[in-house]
Structure formats: structure tokens, C-alpha cells
Structure 1
Amino acid sequence: MYSFHSLKTMYPYAAPMLALAASEIVLAQDRAALRFKTDGSFKLSIFEDLHFGEAEDLDWGPKQDLYGQKVMNAVLDHEDQQLVVLNGDLITGENTYLHNSTDYVNEIVKPLIERNRVWASTYGNHDSDFNLSRSNILAREQTWPNSLTRQDVDTPTSGVSNYYLPVYSADKRKRCPELILWMFDSRGGHFYQQLDDEGNRVGQPSWVDQTVVDWFQVTKSKLRKQYGKDIPSLGFVHIPVSAMLAYQQSQGPQPHYEPGINDDVPLDQQKQDTPFMEALLDTPGMMALFSGHDHGNDWGFRWNSQLPGMNLTGNGLCLFFSRHSSYGGYGTWTRGSRQILVTEESLQTLSFETWNRLETGEISGRIMVDESYGHTYYPRVNDTHTSLDDSPLEPQ
């Protein structure tokens, strides 16, 4: 184990907060691989659209960030997870300054460091702008030893947060992962420090790039060859795929069978994502893909048909939104965090349980995602709202 002073030397950006958890931090290389608990369970918590860094020079900007931390604390106090996923739009890049744009990473991960949680990120459209670089966010994340975020595809067009994480059984004699977590970068926003001939920021495409699709296809084939089977998996990407828009505009989520709020209509989706969707459908064992981006939606559905306007036919892949998790970004829907609970037993039938833990401590939209999903009757999700003035969270 490293000393506090050696940690400060190795991770200089982390130094201001190391004192909070110097006795708790476990370096990634000293931490065991992600594993199911001895009871056979593995739980993830998703924090979506945190949007730290808005209006730092005004009173309400820092207050939003403070209450974003409070949402995270409320969720972390109620849920005992083995991994936290920060699923895009960590920072509102268009509001940040060049000299401190990635400092907000320290604020975001503070509740995780204090509890010695490990996390993994994808990046969203607001994580790229003239004063904010995805690569710099990654570099800042990696100063923290509990970050599992990395870059496995490094091309000029691929984005940054494309990688996978294996999750192993608690039984260390088992060498094959029980679960694979795929992280994808849907890009978007604006290129870092680039202006066109007229002095305008240069836009970045807002979909998973073909180079990433190619990497995904090759990597999952290598895993299949290495372990002799298709391993159950879950995927995470910030901007939802076009199938979600097609479903919303046709049948739409059914409140008692696919419970969730559906207030962002029409939702904003990836723009040229047919190759990505084809690759997802061509992945045996891929159970679900989780997205955010549209703050007023937290529903999901099982894609098992050809949706209007699409030439792809779903094979049962589930697509879910996660709950907006912070006071940054637009909207006043009650904040929360999607939870995912898988067990080694449930993986035999490619099923899992999911729900949203709200900032109030309440559970919203708890469902079992198995072969009956879409046919089982559930209570309707309440469409509730809060603001900084009437937040259920305790003031500081």
C-alpha cells in the first residue's frame, strides 16, 4: 500500500482531496478485478448527465454542483454497488474556462472517493467543447486510483471512452468472466480548441464511430475465441440509439408495462448509428444498452420487432434510459440513479433487475427484465419535480 505522500506525488491533481480518504484509497493495480459478491450478485449504479461546471461565477452554478453531490451521496447511502458508471455529460463544457475545465472531475468523484467506490465513465456531447477536451477529462480521471475509465480505440474520429470491463465470479478458480461491460463514446459537442474560418466552434459527429464498431466486432470475436463461448454483456453509451426514437414515435413506452417518465418528446438520438445498432444486434448475450442525454426520459423497452422507418429488426435487446442525476443541465424532474442488479443465476437466462433510486430515497420503476418484460403489469411511475428552492436534500 502506498503512503499518502507517495500518492500525492503520483497523483498531483488528486492531492487536494486525498486527505479525505488517504486511509481508504486502494490503487487500481492493488484492487482485485471486478467480481460478483459471494452471494452471487453484482450491482451497478448509473449517474447520468451530472453537468458540473455551469455558471461557476454565479451563485446558482456552484449550488447546482453541491446539490449534484448531494444526489450522489443520497444514492450511495442507499445502494451498495460494486461499480458506479458515470454515463456521459459529466461537465457542461461550453460553460467552463480553459484553465480549470477538468477540475470539476475532482468534485464529481468526491462522493465516490469518500466511500472507496470504483467507477467507469463514458463521455457525452457536453464533455467536448472549445475549452474542454475528452482526453483531458480522461487524464484527470486517471489521476484517481479508483477510476477504471480508459481508451481502447485511439483514432482521430473514435472519441475517447471506448473500452470494456470483465466481471468475474467471486470464485477465483473461475477464469472466464461472468459478465462483460461495454463502454461506448457517442461523441458530439465541439472539437477542443478548434474554430472554423469564421471563428465558430467546430461540431463533432454525435454517434458511435465506425472505427469503434470495427473494434467492438473484433474484440468480442477475440473474447469468444479466448473463452470458448459468448459471455453475457451490458452496454453503456450516452446518446440513445435511433431505435429508441422509432419506438417512442410509434407505439411509445406503455406506462404499466414499460414504466418510466416520457417527457422528452421527440427524444434526441444518435444520427448515423445503423452500423452500431447492427453490431449490438449481432452480439449474442447482449442484454441491454443504457443511455441518458434526454433528461426527461427514464423508460425502457425490449426491441423485438422491425420498428417503423427502420430496416433493422430487433432480437430482444433491451434499451433503457437512466434517470437524470444532478441539478446541472436542463429539467426539474426528481433526480436519481438507475440501478442494475445481476446475479450469476440470472445470467443463465439473460435477465436482471433494475430500478431508479431517487434523491428522496424512494425507489421508482422497479422491474424484472426477463422473458416476461413488456407483458408484466407494474405501477405507473410518478412524474414528479424538484428545484434548488424545494430540494428534498438537506442543506449544507
Structure 2
Amino acid sequence: MLHHEFRVLSAITAISAGVYGLPRGPGPGPARQSQFPSVGVPAQNRFGPLRFRREGTFHVSIFEDLHFGENAWESWGPQQDIHSVKVIETILDAEPRTDLVVLNGDLITGENTFLENSTHYVDRIVRPMLQRGLTWASTYGNHDNDFNISASAILAREQLWPNARTTQMVSDPGAGVSNYYLPVYAADCHPDQHRHGGCRPELLLWFFDSRGGFEFQQRDPATGDRVGKRNWVDARVVDWFRHTNAQLVRAAGGRVIPGLAFVHIPTNASLALQQKGVDPHRQPGIDDDKPLAQQAQGWCPDRANDGSRCAYGGQDVPFMQAIASTPGLMALFSGHDHGDTWCYKWEGLLPGMTVEGSGVNLCFGQHSGYGGYGSWIRGARQVVVSLKGLKDLAVDTYIRLEAGDAVGAVTLNRSYGQDWYPATPNDKTKLPTSGN
């Protein structure tokens, strides 16, 4: 089965290479960059910089927890992947004004993959975007790191495609891979102007690697077990984020630049908000994963990976401090907990917390793939940003379901959390041949 699966995926890659211009070889790995790169513009692909539309809007479609590659040796595994592709296609066709696709972690169920072809699933995931001429940007999740797969290898596979905007801006070993930002410019910013300071970004998109899972090709010499990988945004990444954002603000003449952020595993602040209580009409969405799994879960304050004696180690505190203290940051979007789909405005000091919220919205998306646990209806969170709304640091968001419906539509503005919205239905879908 291993060799058959490898031949099938290789054939798909070869065909795609002819259609989309993919290099047929393995290609170089991701280029290493300095810890704090000079703040100009991330390396551009042939599609040029991201820009608002002429009417002043920018639309992001967020797919998360696709979990490709589960049990490829059984009939239901490949069927899940087929249905996951259909979800992506259906939603992108229902959202024709999508300007960027975000893949927010757990692209692949790494523990089920083989070393020889573990990253080839990327080709299946991104094909709907390639066919529609869309670009994408990824974060990586805990299931993207395992004995036979690594986030670095996934990045190298992604970067074979010209539509990929995923990159790596923090090169420190162990700090994670998908840590970078993408600026979004006004429509009238000429593709060359941004390189020479002629125009400044109207919006910043920040991507963070919460890591987790297991180290690539490593086993504990004493037990032979896989070696756990730290599951929080590294402090070195937090330093890079603060430094880079400050440089960008200075380059913009001190003007606060609105931002959105993406990370796979939510912070402890999301758990504290959930424990405070999710109101179906103030924070509409499914709230079935209770308690949710946050960063630093199962680690001890001394960084020992011992879930038997430590529920939470607190290592995400620096990241939470940075998120809460960054002016203009409107929302942080997470995945990981498949049964949670709400947004919550983080304000004040919550019980059990040491970091005080300042109004940033913490949001989940919708479980997008047929892989992974749970039978909640598949979908993808949509985020629509307008230049007009940015003046008040407000964005619109909703979830587009595979059935075609749009649910949970809200405006993340100053009054979010006080405004009343219809409750989100809790529908289920499953494969006819499986219990998922």
C-alpha cells in the first residue's frame, strides 16, 4: 500500500507540474533568514503583494484542521480526503471574492504518514486554490509535526508552488516554522511602489507557529518513545513580533497599522473566556469542546512534558502579553478544538489569568476536513475587511458551511459581546462509510 500510495501521489504531482508549472524535483528547502529581518516587504511571489480591491475590501477564507492522510491503508481514509477537497471547492466557489486562503494548521495527520511521501498531501490540499488562481498562507499545527513529517518539510513542499505565500521569518532552531507576516496594500499601490517606500500597508496579517506534536525522526533513547514538541508560540517569536511590528509602525510615521493574526492552538485566554461562559447570542458559535485544549497544555512550569502532573505550564504568557498589548490588533484566529466556532472579545483580567485583555477578539473557525475527530458540519470562517471598517478597527466575519449556508455572521467592533445575534445551529455531517 505504501508504494501504491506513493505512485498515486507522484502521478498527481507530475500531472500538476505540467498544468501549473510545478518544478518536478524536490526543490530547495526554505531559505534561512536572520532572526530580526530588516522591515521591508516579505519576499514576493509572482502574484505580487496582497492588495485591497478597488472598492476597498479584502476577503480571507480560513480552512483549518483538514487532517489529510489519515489511515491511507483503509478505504475510509482516502474517502475522507476526497470529501475534504470537495469542502474546499464548494466553499471557494461560494466565496468567489476570496483574496487569500489561510490554512490554519493541522493540514496533515502526521502520525499516519510515511516518511517517503508524507508531504505529498500538500499537493491535494492546494489544488483547488491552484485551479482558481488563488494564493494561500499557512500556519502549522501539532499534527503537522511527527516522527515521519515536519513543518519544515511541509513548507518546502508548499514553496514548490508559485501560489504559496507561506514563509519563515524566524530562523532560530526550535522556534517553529510558520512565523511571518504579510502586508496588505491599498488597491492603488503599484506593485513596485511598496518596495521603495512609496506606500505603506493598510493591514498586517501575522502568522504564528504554536508547534506541538512530536520531533521529526527522534526517539527517547531510554524509552524508544517519540519526543514531544513544545506546544506554544516560542518567546523568541514573541520578541520578533514585537520588534517587527514596532519597526513597521515607525516606517509608517508612527501610524498604528490594523492587524489580524492566525495561530493553530489557542491561548489560555480562550479557555478562561470559555469558562466565563459563551453566550449563544453574544458569542454565537458551537461550544462543544469543553474544556478546550490550549497552548502549553500538558507541560509543567519547569518545561517538563508531563501531563500526568501538570495540566498547564503557562509558557504562552509572553505571547498573550504581546497579543493584548499590540495596538491595532483586531483578532486572533485559532483552530485545534474542532467543536468550538465562536469569537469572544478578551477584556479585563479573567479568573486564573495573569494577563489582562485589551479588547482583542479571540476566534475559532470551523473544522474544515473530514479527517480528525468530530462530526460537526464542515466549513470555513470568512473574514471580510474593509478600509472603511478599519477606521474603527472593525471587521465582519461569518462561517460558510459545506451545505452552502452562512452562519454566525457578526461584526467584530467595539460593541461586540454586547450586540445580539442569532444562535448558530449545531449541525452534523459524516461519511456514509465511516462513523466520523
Write the letter of the residue equivalent to 1:273: D
Structure-2 separation of matches of 1:307 and 1:200: 37
Amino acid corresponding to residue 272 of structure 2 in structure 1: A
Residue 19 of structure 1 and its aligned partner are, at CA, apart by: 3.9
Deviations 1:268-304 (A, max 9, x none): 0011200000011121000000000000000011011
Report what 1:7 is aligned to.
none
- TM-score, normalising length from structure 2? 0.84
1:29 Cα offset (Å) = 3.3
Structure 2 gaps, min length 5: 1-10, 23-42, 191-197, 297-314
How far off its partner does 1:17 sit?
1.1
Matches within 5 A, 1:264-283: 264-271=289-296, 272-283=315-326
Q: CA deviation at 1:115?
A: 0.5
Checking the alignment, whether the CA contact within 8 Å between 1:14 and 1:143 is kept in structure 2 is no
Q: Distance in 1 between matches of 2:372 and 2:364?
A: 16
Following the alignment from structure 1 to structure 2, what is the Cα–Cα distance between the partners of residues 236 and 42?
Answer: 16
Stretches of 4+ aligned residues off by more than 2 angstroms: 12-16, 18-23, 27-30
Distance in structure 2 (CA, Å) of the matches to 1:125 and 1:91: 10
**Pairing 1:308-319 to 2, within 5 Å after superposition:** 308-319=351-362
Between 1:151-160 and 1:42-51, the stretch displaced more is 151-160
Matched, 1:73 2:89: yes
Structure 2 counterpart of 1:219: 244
> 1:344 aligns to what?
387
Matches of 1:354 and 1:87 in 2, distance apart? 16
Residues 249-281 of structure 1: per-residue CA shift (max 9 Å, x gap): 12x211011100000000000112000000111
- CA deviations 1:127-173 (Å, max 9, x no partner) are 00000011110000000000000000011221100000000000116
CA distance, structure 2, for counterparts of residue 37 and residue 233 of structure 1:
17
Cα distance in 1 for residues equivalent to 2:390 and 2:99: 17
Contact 1:28 1:145 in 2 (8 A): no
Q: Distance in 2 between matches of 1:247 and 1:221?
A: 28
Task: State the distance in 2 between where 1:336 and 1:390 align.
Answer: 20
Partner amino acid, structure 1, of 2:395: F
Cα distance in 1 for residues equivalent to 2:205 and 2:224: 40
Residue 14 of structure 1: how far off its partner (Å) = 4.9
SS at match of 1:303: strand
RMSD: 1.7
CA distance in 2, matches of 1:347, 1:185: 26
1:82-121 correspondence to structure 2 within 5 Å: 82-121=99-138
Among 121, 146, 160, the alignment partner of 1:129 is 146
Aligned partner of residue 358 in structure 2, secondary structure: coil
Residue 59 of structure 1 aligns with which residue? 75
Q: What is the distance in 1 between the residues matched to 2:398 and 2:250? A: 34
Q: Please say which of residues 382-391 and 87-96 is displaced more in the overlay.
A: 382-391
Q: Verify the 8 A CA contact 1:13 1:140 in the aligned structure 2.
A: no
Q: Say yes or no: does 1:236 pair with 2:253.
A: no
Shift of 1:376: 1.2
Q: Which of these residues, 319, 328, 349, is aligned with residue 285 of structure 1?
A: 328
- Per-residue deviation, residues 81-139 of structure 1 (Å, max 9, x unmatched): 10000000000000000001000000100111111110000000000000001111000
**How far apart are residue 32 of structure 1 and its match?**
2.5
Q: Distance in 2 between matches of 1:175 and 1:300?
A: 32
Question: What residue in structure 1 maps to residue 273 of structure 2?
Answer: 247
Tell me which of 195, 199, 202 is aligned to 2:219: 195
* 8 A contact 1:28–1:147 mirrored in 2: no
Number of positions where the alignment pairs a residue of Structure 1 with one of Structure 2: 376
Q: CA deviation at 1:22?
A: 5.7
How far apart are the structure 2 equivalents of 1:315 and 1:29?
35
2:283 counterpart residue number: 258
| C-alpha distance in structure 2 between counterparts of 1:120 and 1:83, whole Å | 8
Which AA in structure 1 matches 2:229? Q
Secondary structure of residue in 2 paired with 1:315: strand
- Which letter does structure 1 place at the counterpart of 2:48? A
User: TM-score normalized by structure 1?
Assistant: 0.92
CA 1:223 to 1:54, structure 2 compared with 1: closer, same or farther past 3 Å?
same
For residue 66 of structure 2, give the secondary structure of its aligned residue in structure 1: coil
Secondary structure at the aligned position of 1:165 is classed as strand
Identical columns (%)? 53
Cα deviation, residue 16, structure 1? 2.8
How far off its partner does 1:183 sit? 0.2
- The structure 1 residue matched to 2:427, chosen from 380, 384, 395, is 384
Q: CA, structure 1 residues 20+66, in 2 after alignment: closer, same or farther (shift >3 Å)?
A: farther
Q: Secondary structure at the match of 1:176?
A: coil
Aligned 8 A contact 2:46 2:162 in 1:
no
Give the aligned partner of residue 373 of structure 1: 416
Q: 1:169-184 alignment to 2 at 5 Å?
A: 169-172=186-189, 175-184=199-208
SS at match of 1:103: helix
What SS does the corresponding residue of 1:140 show, helix, strand or coil? helix
Distance in 2, matches of 1:245 and 1:29, equals 38
Q: Secondary structure at the match of 1:244?
A: helix
Q: Tell me, yes or no, if structure 1 residue 353 matches structure 2 residue 369.
A: no
Match of 2:209 in 1: 185
Contact 1:13 1:143 in 2 (8 A): no
